[in-house]
């Protein structure tokens, strides 16, 4: 069985010391760092831009998983690619020409991800699935850490896992409200990548938390 990827989100870290946050993610054995970019327009919150990604890059050898919650993602992908992103994921709801943006991300030598909010059905991105390296299912309404999971979103994870059987090759990521209990449900539904913000940064033992999220505890 393939190993579940854990991607702690620095959204829940102390923004005055994000370098330490990414170092703590590497030290906990997570392997991916999830970076939430918010523009105050697509979502009602603001975080950071490509300079933050570039400045953090030397502190970590982990995969940088950039989640763009912005209204015009196409205009920003080159900057995030240059900053050191490995995966660049944007929202289907924010783009008309999603297929073009997926191609542009790949042309920059990066992995391309597409995300859907809880209100968007899988059918809205079905034509794009053969072109995606990652599909990010939001299990909360994006904008903030520490929200309660919307369990119904797991139906979409199951649907994406079924659709993948017909030949597409994308990772299924879930983001929002992930803790050891909901992680087990996400894995059972078919998720490959689990994003965790508040659960990771509130854990006293981050290494143990990563193991629990993977289902390796005990
Ligand atoms: C929410 C972000 C998430 C967030 C998850 O809009 O996309 O990545 O950090 O936080 P938790 O794990 O606390 O729900
Ligand atoms: Zn995110």
What pLDDT, in 10s, does the model give residues 167-213? Answer: 889 999 999 999 999 999 999 999 999 999 999 999 999 999 999 99
Catalytic status, residue 175 = yes
pTM: 0.98
184 Cβ contact partners less than 8 Å away, ≥ 6 residues apart: 215
Whole-number Å distance, alpha carbon 181 to ligand 2 midpoint, is 19
**Could you read off the pLDDT of 31-80 as tens digits, one per residue?**
999 999 999 999 999 999 999 999 999 999 999 999 999 999 999 999 99
Identify the domain containing residue 58 by its residue range: 5-214
Q: How many CB atoms lie within 10 A of CB 68?
A: 27
Q: Which residues of 169-194 are buried (b: 16+ CB within 10 A; e: fewer)?
A: ebbbbbbbbbbbebbebbbebbbbbb
Residue 1 pLDDT exceeds 80: no
Residue 146 φ/ψ region, left for φ over 0, alpha for ψ in the -120 to 50 degree band, beta for the rest:
left
Residue 166 pLDDT exceeds 90: no
Residues of the chain with pLDDT > 90: what percent? 96
5 to 14, 33, 39, 70, 121: CA distances (angstroms): 23, 10, 27, 25, 24
Pocket perturbation via mutation, ligand 1, pick of 18, 175, 178 by most ligand atoms within 8 A of CB: 175
Signed CA dihedral, 48, 51, 58, 110: sign only: positive
The CATH number that applies at residue 74 is: 3.20.20.70
Nearest ligand (C-alpha, residue 134): 2
Catalytic residue (one of 36, 39, 133, 192): 36
Q: Once rounded to an integer, what is the mean pLDDT over residues 142-158?
A: 98
Catalytic status, residue 192 = no
Catalytic residue (one of 39, 133, 175, 192): 175
Whole-number Å distance, alpha carbon 35 to ligand 1 midpoint, is 10
Q: Once rounded to an integer, what is the mean pLDDT over residues 89-108?
A: 98
């Amino acid at each position: 069985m393939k190993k579940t990827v854990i991607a702690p989100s620095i959204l829940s870290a102390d923004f005055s010391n994000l370098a330490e946050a990414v170092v703590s993610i590497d030290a906990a054995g997570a392997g991916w760092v999830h970076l939430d970019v918010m523009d105050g327009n697509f979502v009602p919150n603001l975080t950071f831009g490509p300079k933050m990604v570039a400045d953090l890059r030397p502190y970590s050898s982990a995969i940088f998983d950039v989640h763009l919650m912005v209204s015009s993602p196409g205009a920003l992908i080159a900057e995030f690619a240059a900053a050191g992103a490995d995966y660049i994921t944007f929202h289907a709801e924010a783009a008309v020409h999603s297929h073009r943006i997926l191609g542009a991300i790949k042309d920059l030598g990066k992995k391309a991800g597409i995300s859907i909010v809880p209100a968007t059905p899988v059918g809205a991105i079905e034509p794009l699935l053969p072109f995606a390296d990652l599909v990010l299912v939001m299990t909360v309404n994006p904008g903030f850490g520490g929200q309660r999971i919307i369990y119904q979103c797991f139906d979409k994870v199951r649907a994406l896992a079924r659709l993948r059987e017909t030949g597409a090759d994308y990772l299924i990521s879930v983001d929002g409200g992930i803790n050891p209990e909901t992680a087990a449900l996400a894995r059972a539904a078919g998720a490959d990548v689990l994003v965790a913000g508040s659960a990771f940064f509130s854990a006293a033992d981050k290494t143990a938390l990563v193991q629990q999220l993977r289902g390796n505890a005990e």
